[in-house]
Amino acid sequence: MAKFIYRMQNILNLKEKMEEEAKNAYVAQQARLNAEEEKLAALIRKKSYYEEEGRRIRQTKLNIRDLEENEYAVSTMTGLIMQQEEALKKEQELLEEKRSSFEEAMKERKTQEKLRENAFEEFKADLNYQESKEIDQLTSYVYGNRIRLANQSGADSGS
């Protein structure tokens, strides 16, 4: 039996490799996004702590210096949170780009796999056609031999 060889196998292999690379880039970007989200959560917790400390300071004896330091810490945390939210937004945009690249690579690989399947089906159809052709030739040969032998037998007995 003939062996199926997909003539564009190297392209399919390349598409699979590109998909794997895009997947790895997407996973890495997702990890970076998660890290940025964790940083933001930590900053929010820290700001909440400073706000709570400010409430505690206001309830105890008034110490202007402690209040000023606390307000400065809260405003610093607010600024850091805003910066972190911007960084998080950028990471989310990058994640979306990586996701799009990954989806595109997946589509290209699936297209190549579909082309390979179609080529294999065509190969099988061609193989079946060749086998059918050989069977027809064999049947014609056998039938022709029987008639020739029958004619020779009839000619031999009639003489």
Residue pLDDT tens, the chain, 159 long: 678 888 999 999 999 999 999 999 999 999 999 999 999 999 999 999 999 999 988 888 778 898 899 999 999 999 999 999 999 999 999 999 999 999 999 999 999 999 999 999 999 999 999 999 999 888 888 888 888 877 787 666 655
**How many CA atoms within 13 Å lie on the side-chain side of 86?**
5
Specify the 3-state DSSP secondary structure of 3: coil
Q: Is the pTM of this model over 0.85?
A: no
CATH of domain 9-158: 1.10.287.1700
- Provide the residue ranges of all domains of the chain, joining segments of one domain with +: 9-158
Taking the C-alpha atoms of residue 94 and residue 41, their distance in angstroms, rounded to an integer, is 20
